[in-house]
Structure 1
Amino acid sequence: MKTINSKTIVFITGAFVSSDCWGEWRTYFEQRGYQTFAPAWPHKDAPACTLRQRHPDGDVASQRLDKLTDYFRTFVSKLPESPILIGHSMGGLITQLLIQEGLGVAGILIHSLQPQGVFTFKFSFYKAGWPALGFFTDTRKTYLMSFPEWQYAFTNGMPYEAQKDGYYKLLVPESKLLIRDATTAAAKVDFSKPHAPLLFIAGSEDRFIPHSLNYANYKKYSDPNSITAYHEFPRRNHFVLGQAGWEEVADHILNWLN
């Protein structure tokens, strides 16, 4: 059995939300002896309300996946020890890209966005993600998710007040080009390479990244000498980081690391 000795965690935020989404998660793991980081994406180092006021934001709109991956690659490379990487959604995809380069001792992929070549036929995936692609719109302008879109894609099944609270606290404008990049070579993973341990976390109620898509992503890894694990939680939607009972997911991750 492989032992994971690092006590450093880098949380990698997904698209559409502020890095403040990791606040309670950082406290949880720091109370258990870890040093944690949750770097804001380039051009997003401000409160969510401030970033929404800048919409349509040309700087955010220019973000591309290769540059964003390089940003986190540089951040991780400068740390005194190789960290555990925990990424959500687009952050999960970036975690996969970094792990294949040997830049983390373990990767936890929470409802990870699919790499190039991994598909699903679930209608909810296309309904939730299609508007953000921004086809036939100006890519120099950011995409800002509406509240009904947020309710469908992120917070389905939650009480209205909790949906609204998450929207105003965390929602930020996003780059349409970045979302499109997930289908390009910038999102390519070599599933046959040996890799550090990977844990896939999925949610049964996630419409944006359906559990079947997470499972297909997990099953792509084929190196027999590498550790790859999968766990699906019932009643978890795409807002899993802030959804009531998130501690259950954090507990599972901590136990897996230990």
Structure 2
Amino acid sequence: MVFVHGLWVHAVSWQPWQELFDKQGFTTYAPGWPGDAETVDATRADPSGQAGVGVEQITDAYAAFLAGLDEPAIVIGHSFGGLIVEKLLDRGLPAAAVAISPAPIKGIRALPLNLLRSSLPVTSRPANRRKAVTLTEKQWAFSFGNALDRAESDELYRRLSIPGPGRPLFEASFANFTPNAATTVDPARAGRGPLLLMANGQDHTVPEVVVKAAHRLYATSPATTDLITYSDRGHSAPFDHGWRAVADDTLAWLARQSR
């Protein structure tokens, strides 16, 4: 099982999931994005390797990792990691995939105000396309921690947040106006593994309506695509105090796919 983190969050965020899934008999991995260091502190100290990294480069890195495994893996991703998971599934690489609050694929036209506001720290400055960008605690609280009390939001920021490349946000924001956009997948594709989309009703960064729009696009495929929605959760759902409910629902869904 391979976990894919999202923008502004280090791969260490998956550690509780890895411990849980290891106990269930899975062999788990959580490799970082190109340019990430091994720890949060080291990535904060030198994020220069992230500058200019885009969706295709991230996808290629995970595709290479999957190719080095002995058998097809289950992949689980959050936010832009969810988008990467969808692209890997479109390439036919994983056995199954779970995308939690996935960043929008090309073709999704819903643009809620909260989504636009959460991306402004990057997209408001075109030069950020070539840079690594860091969120402030206040920006993190709006984009990730709005469904939490501020103390928990700030603690997650201190423990898990890292700089992230600006390029993926530009690629997603302008995908519908870009031929061969990096966020393109074929939602009608047959023969792929099953996909679970997970949406959060209080999510500012990837609002529920965006994930539901993706689900409608995937409905044109004969392959399995399911949707779970949490009405009271925000973008931090897979790594805040309520992570276990999301993980347990993921395990239950995976068990149903193997029947």
Partner of 1:36: 28
Matched, 1:114 2:116: no
Distance in structure 2 (CA, Å) of the matches to 1:131 and 1:181 = 15
Distance in structure 2 (CA, Å) of the matches to 1:28 and 1:138 = 37
Matched, 1:105 2:101: no
Asked if structure 1 preserves the Cα contact closer than 8 Å seen for 2:156 and 2:240, the reply is no
| One-letter amino acid of the structure 1 residue matched with residue 119 of structure 2 | G
Determine which structure has the larger helix proportion and give its number: 2
Partner of 1:257: 254
Q: 1:211 to 1:31 in 2, by over 3 A?
A: same
Q: 1:81 to 1:149 in 2, by over 3 A?
A: same
Pick the aligned partner of 2:185 from 181, 184, 189. Answer: 189
Q: Which moved more, 1:78-87 or 1:242-251?
A: 242-251
Asked if structure 2 preserves the Cα contact closer than 8 Å seen for 1:133 and 1:177, the reply is no
Distance in structure 2 (CA, Å) of the matches to 1:42 and 1:84 = 21
Structure 1 vs Structure 2 CA RMSD: 1.4
The secondary structure found in structure 2 opposite 1:108 is strand
Distance in structure 2 (CA, Å) of the matches to 1:118 and 1:207 = 16
The secondary structure found in structure 2 opposite 1:109 is strand
| One-letter amino acid of the structure 2 residue matched with residue 198 of structure 1 | L
Partner of 1:236: 233
Give the number of aligned pairs: 248
Distance in structure 1 (CA, Å) of the matches to 2:31 and 2:91 = 20
Partner of 1:23: 15
Partner of 2:79: 89
* Identity level (%): 28
Pick the aligned partner of 1:148 from 115, 125, 138. Answer: 138
After TM superposition, the score normalised by the length of structure 2 is 0.91
Asked if structure 2 preserves the Cα contact closer than 8 Å seen for 1:60 and 1:142, the reply is yes
Partner of 1:129: 119
Aligned structure 1 segments of 4 or more residues deviating by more than 3 angstroms:
136-141
Q: 1:139 to 1:257 in 2, by over 3 A?
A: closer
| One-letter amino acid of the structure 2 residue matched with residue 46 of structure 1 | E
Distance in structure 2 (CA, Å) of the matches to 1:139 and 1:189 = 22
Distance in structure 2 (CA, Å) of the matches to 1:252 and 1:180 = 32
Partner of 1:226: 223
Matched, 1:62 2:52: yes
| One-letter amino acid of the structure 1 residue matched with residue 209 of structure 2 | S
Q: 1:145 to 1:37 in 2, by over 3 A?
A: same
Partner of 1:6: none
Distance in structure 2 (CA, Å) of the matches to 1:181 and 1:139 = 9
The secondary structure found in structure 2 opposite 1:230 is strand
After TM superposition, the score normalised by the length of structure 1 is 0.92
Distance in structure 2 (CA, Å) of the matches to 1:44 and 1:143 = 13
